[in-house]
Every structure is written in C-alpha cells, then in structure tokens.
Amino acid sequence: MRNLKRITSLIVIMVVLSTSTFAAGFTIQPNPENEKDYFEYLLNFVMENFKNEILESGVTKDDLIEGAYKGIFDTLDEHSVYFNGDEYEDFTTSTEGEFGGIGISVTKEDKYIKVVSPIEGTPGDKAGLKSGDKIVGVDGEDITDWDLSKAVDVMRGNPGTKVILTIDRDSEILDFEIIRAIIEIDALEYKVLDNNIGYIKIIQFSADSYIETKDALLDLKSQNIESLIIDLRNNPGGYLDEVVYIADLFIDKDKDIVHVDYENQDDITYVAEIIDLFEKDIVVLVNEGSASASEILTGALQDNNEATIVGTTTYGKGTVQTLIKLATGGGMKLTVAEYMTANHTHINKVGIEPDIIIENNQNKNIKKIKESFVPTNELNTIYFKDVSLNVYGVQQRLNALDYNLTLDGMFGPKTLKALNEFQRLNNKTTTNYINKEVINSINDKIDNYYNEDNDNQLKKAIDLLTIN
C-alpha cells in the first residue's frame, strides 16, 4: 500500500511539474464571451508568443487567418475546399481553360490524394495512371496528409518539364515519370462505327458540353445511325446543369432525371422537358473513373430503361458542390447537396453497378499476370489425360483469356474443350495434345488480348447493338 501511495504521489508531481513548466510565464485569459473574441484572442496570443524564428520563412497574421479558413473546410468532406486567390485562379483555369499539367482529376480521401480519373490523351493517361491510384509522392517528396490544393500545385508546372509521381496501387509502389504539357480540355469526340453504330465519348461535363453533345447527336442521326454508344469511362464529372440538359436528349418527356437534396433550400427534381431525340438502342460504357455528373447521366438512363450499362461499378460521388468567389479574390467549393438517381437510389461512396459487368483488359496488369504463370517445358508434348505442371501452366494461360478452368494440372475434358475452342477461334487446327507451337500461339494471343487497343468493353457494347 505504501508503494502504491508513493507511485501515485510521483505521478501527481510529474504532471504538476510538466504543466507548470509548459505554462510558465503566461497568464491565461478568462473565456471570451463569443467565438469572434475567442478567435481574436487565439490569433493575437499565437502572434505574440510563437517562436517565429524556428520557421524558415516565418508566419504572418494573414497566414494564420488563411490557415484557419482552410481548417474549417478540412473538417468537412473531401470535396469541400477553401482556395486562396492563386488557388482559386488555378482551379477555375482547370475547369474552363488550358493549363500546364499532367491531366488527372484528383480528390482527397482520408490522408491520401487519390486519382478519380485520368483525362484521355493527356500525359497522365498515357503514362498509365488509373482511377483509384493513391499519389504518395511527388519528385521524391512524401505528400501524404497534404491538402488537395498544395498537392495539385506541385503537380502542375511549365509544359515540357518533368515530374515523378510515386503511386500506391493496391499496396504496390510504382514510380511514373511524366512530362507536363498544355492540357486542352475538350468536351467530347464522336464518330460512326461499323453496322451504323454511333459513338459519342463525353470526356467531361464542362461549359458547352450540352451544345456539343446535341450537335454531335444530330450529325450522327444525319448519317443514319441505327444505335448509339455513349462512353463515360474516366469522365470525372462537371457541371450539373450540363448533364441534366444532356440527359434530356435521351429521356422521354416528364420522366425524372435526378433528385437533388439540398441542406438549406428546397429540394429539386429535374425532369425531362423535351421530346426524346434518340429512341433507338443505347449502350453506356462506364468504369471506376466515371464520377459525379457521369453517374447522374448513367443513373438517369438506367433507371428510365433508356440504355444498357456496360463496364465496371462507377466511382460513387453522389454529392453536389457549389463554387463561390469571395471578395478577397479567393473562393470556396462547398458540398451543398446530395443527389439521388431517378429511382431515388443513393450512390455516394457506392457507385452504380452496370447491367453487364465486364472489366477492361486494358486496365489489367499483364506483367503481374505473366509473373504468376508457372514455366512450361515446351520440348515435351502434353497429351490428353496427362497430369503435370505443364498442364497447370497451360490452364493458367487459358484462364488469362477468360476460359475459367479449374487449376488442377489435369488435361481432362474441360481443358481439352477450352483448348479446342481457342484453336477454332484463332483459325488453328484442333488437337488433343499441346506442343511448343500450341503454347506459343496461346502466349501470342495473351500479348494481343491485353494490348491497349483491345477494348473488350467497347467490343461488348458493339456486340450487343449488332445482335439487336
């Protein structure tokens, strides 16, 4: 008991000494009467007492005020941001003009800067960045826990200059060397495919996207298209008004497009107001980089049975932000509402599941797939009913081509059926054995199958519209 008392006393003494040392020389002011007085007190106290010399550039009162503003928004969701004057100018340029950078849409999620989607054709897209990548470093500097505007600022730069991004992709750390360029943001591209299938790729929903989409649709109709593919893959979103107008081109009059649930004003349901301009079959392509306004259009077409959705589950950004310019020259982007699809489905952090789920081979890591293959002895011919590691290796390779075999190393009926189907589809003579020539043809097919030009999601869309 005595020892216990001594320990307790020691702890009390340590706490008192620690507190006394920390507070020595300062008089603590009584609680201010209101938040404004309290903020002023903290601001003045810090400016008077902070040892400014320990910072390389020091800190000013304006710096503290700016930091307080940012702190307010840091406690909100990842899409709400405070901008100082320079940051606001940079942000508006990125949505409405052209700038020097790498061409990716990013967000802050937990402590990471995360890629929402790369913009097609930009340096970031060509380098191989993907939706969901976590950017953990820029030019060797760890940017974990950085705020979004600071991270964006260091990734931008003069066209022709190099930046190295360190990416965490499913716990694999990768470095990407990217040359910055002028990022010209186009709204869309369109063309006519075989079998009179129209194709419109909406890159993002920027100003004038509605006009450009309508003009593209009318031009395609003048070329007598019989069906339409709308490609929203890696479209990070954009303006709410623009996507509502575009949805109105494809949805019957008086049908719901999207419901917007505001915090501080009446909720709004956007309804189609014009006659459907295109009443033939439509397929919409989406992936994990399809976000925000892309999901509004996808949900509207899916819920109103106007289109078949093909691809992978979308990003899941079901919130609406408003951009406000402040008298100081800065601005704020604030989440003011949540939107729901036409059938009142909440999609925030959930996404929209396609009607037909199919991953794109372009997004698969062929290097990792090949590294998982066991070696095959191409000098030994493999015969039906053989059991060996060679058979196992062939099964792995056929599965990479989506044959879904059980990896058991047995050259049984299912493996033979898959082999013969592969041979027929590739104009090869069917056999009940596997030799060096057969293995080489399978390996060659794998290389072609995962080629960046082999867009199997688009091919699926074309197949659906051709069948119909």
Angle subtended by helix axes 389-399 and 436-449, to nearest 10: 30
The identity of residue 63, as a single letter, is D
133 class by beta-carbon count within 10 Å (0-12 exposed, 13-18 middle, 19+ buried):
buried
Q: For residue 298, give both structure tokens.
A: 């996808």
Q: Which of 303, 333, 445, 460 is catalytic?
A: 303
d(CA 134, CA 144): 9
Q: For residue 3, give both structure tokens.
A: 């020892």
Say if CB 307 and CB 284 are below 8 A apart: yes
Q: For residue 318, give both structure tokens.
A: 């079901």
Phi then psi for residue 240, to 5 deg, are -60, -45
d(CA 322, CA 340): 17
d(CA 410, CA 385): 6
- Pairing type for strands 268-271 and 256-262 reads antiparallel
Q: Decide if 317 is catalytic.
A: yes
Q: Decide if 114 is catalytic.
A: no
- Reported as half-sphere exposure (CB side, CA atoms, 13 A), residue 466 has a value of 9
Cα–Cα distances in Å, from 35 out to 68, 352, 448?
13, 43, 65
Q: Decide if 303 is catalytic.
A: yes
Q: Which of 108, 134, 201, 317 is catalytic?
A: 317
Phi then psi for residue 261, to 5 deg, are -100, 105
Say if CB 164 and CB 139 are below 8 A apart: yes
Say if CB 357 and CB 285 are below 8 A apart: no
Say if CB 401 and CB 445 are below 8 A apart: yes
Q: Which of 105, 131, 292, 294 is catalytic?
A: 292
Give the residue numbers marked as catalytic.
292, 303, 317
